[in-house]
Structure 1
Amino acid sequence: MPRNLPRQQSDLLICFAVKEEAKFFKPVETGEFEVLITGMGRRNASESIRAALPIVQPTLVLTCGFAGGLNPKYPLGTVLFDEDFDAGLSGELTDLGCISGKFHCAKRVAVTAEEKNDLWNSTEADAVEMESSVIRTICREFKIPSATVRVILDDAHLDLPLDFNALMTSEDKIDYAKLLWAVMTSPHKIPSLVDFQRQTVLASQKLASVLHDVLKARLC
């Protein structure tokens, strides 16, 4: 059974893969909702959403977080979305400057600009992530409308500072011992890691701002 499951019913369930994506999502006076941290990857997302839906019984599910850019025209901080026809969010999201886009749900982190370019050419997707397709497929099984709302963390031109795939455990979690070792053995990458952390903060703040405004609009 996944940990940290929601404990009560709510009309809205908002999913993030990791806590860092939800760090600045602390809206006030935006109505009732439940947050689910699913964990990274398809397996964790599947287990978490299947466990959460019977508890929360939402009428709408959002799968949110970071995405890697595949379309070169979308820079860091661009918020892309894709929704079911009956989710009813496109108007609010478009008004907030978000862009309707296509997502590719991958089994591994796209690390290099070359890898992202290959994915863009093969999938014609605007961004890549690792959970949303699974979550939304399961929502359709439960006949619950859903939408993907994701912010570009690393654009199509950017190589990630580390190969995060090599730092994963068998449960698709970051192995912090491996991360520490990778940093210790490659100290020249520390400036890039610091820059990447700054990008993470900026992207999380932008996503939180959009979600906050969307929830406020739903109350009007």
Structure 2
Amino acid sequence: MQRIGVLVGMQSEAKLARHLYPAAIEASGATKEGAKSALKRLIAAKVTSIVSFGFAAGLDPLIKAGTILLPNVIHVRGKDYVSDPALRLKLGAEKSRIKVGALLHSDEIITASAEKQKLFVQTGCVALDMESGIVAQYCEDHKIPFAVLRVVCDSAARDLPPLACLALSHDGNLKISQMAKSLLVNPAQISGLIKLGVDAGLAYRQLNNFVHQKNMFESV
């Protein structure tokens, strides 16, 4: 039996990824260095393919929070990486409610809706995240099949509060103390945080429902 490696950004995503059994799971903490270290650990665990899993930011204005993504192309600094068709099919790419298309890699969190919409016009990518491009490059270098399974957490119209850039530690957990300090300095963020929380809750439920439909890797 093949062994699937799953890269996530946050520990909350890792909890959902445990339903993609059998799989080795590592968290990046939403940093480039963290992702590279996590991928090395997955390779050391002798995985035969890797899935980038978790949340993404919407760029296409027609895509709402909670939309499941199985992109066929990852766009990284002008180069396109094609995800493995067989692995995508195993993840449910044939389902009518799944959004395909291109996913954009970003090295930083995009907080402004105006910037998201600008990136959509420039690239045509339907969404972006901070891990999938690193996975795509790493897997090409190591000749390992990869795929991406993500859910839109914040839509193209959603502005993120500044504390979103401070939220994650390198092990993928939330930095509660830093978030609290940021709110004390700028309490106007509370409204944006609540709205983001509503969208994130919807995204989490949708991805949870999706991965609970069946044991996706039972016959891989």
Query: Shorter-chain-normalised TM-score: which range?
Result: 0.7 to 0.9
Question: For the structure 1 residues 189 and 38, does the alpha-carbon distance in structure 2 shift closer, same or farther, using more than 3 Å as the test?
Answer: closer
Whether the 8 Å CA contact 2:17–2:25 is kept in 1: the answer is no
Q: Counterpart in 2 of 1:43?
A: 33
Matches within 5 A, 1:66-85: 66-83=55-72, 84-85=83-84
Question: For the structure 1 residues 130 and 216, does the alpha-carbon distance in structure 2 shift closer, same or farther, using more than 3 Å as the test?
Answer: closer
Which amino acid is the alignment partner of residue 7 of structure 2? C
Q: Counterpart in 1 of 2:6?
A: 14
Q: Counterpart in 1 of 2:80?
A: none
- More moved, 70-79 vs 85-94: 85-94
Q: How many residues align?
A: 208
Question: For the structure 1 residues 195 and 209, does the alpha-carbon distance in structure 2 shift closer, same or farther, using more than 3 Å as the test?
Answer: same
Question: For the structure 1 residues 188 and 43, does the alpha-carbon distance in structure 2 shift closer, same or farther, using more than 3 Å as the test?
Answer: same
Whether the 8 Å CA contact 2:106–2:128 is kept in 1: the answer is yes
Structure 2 residue 112 is the aligned partner of structure 1 residue 112: yes
Q: Counterpart in 1 of 2:86?
A: 87
Q: Deviations over 1:28-66 (max 9, x none)?
A: xx64222211221222111210232122x2222110111
Q: Could you tell me how far 1:178 is from its partner in structure 2? A: 3.3
Whether the 8 Å CA contact 1:23–1:204 is kept in 2: the answer is no
Q: Counterpart in 1 of 2:103?
A: 103
Matches within 5 A, 1:1-220: 11-27=3-19, 31-55=21-45, 57-83=46-72, 84-90=83-89, 92-95=92-95, 97-165=97-165, 167=166, 175-213=175-213, 215-216=215-216, 218-219=218-219
Q: Deviations over 1:53-95 (max 9, x none)?
A: 122x222211011111101110000111124245332372332
Q: Deviations over 1:112-164 (max 9, x none)?
A: 11111121122221111111111121122222111011111000011113353
Runs (5+) with no aligned partner, structure 2: 73-82
SS, match of residue 115 in structure 1: helix
Which amino acid is the alignment partner of residue 36 of structure 1? E
Whether the 8 Å CA contact 1:25–1:209 is kept in 2: the answer is no
Which amino acid is the alignment partner of residue 63 of structure 1? S
Which amino acid is the alignment partner of residue 47 of structure 2? P
SS, match of residue 50 in structure 2: strand
Instruction: Provide TM-score, normalisation by structure 1.
Output: 0.81
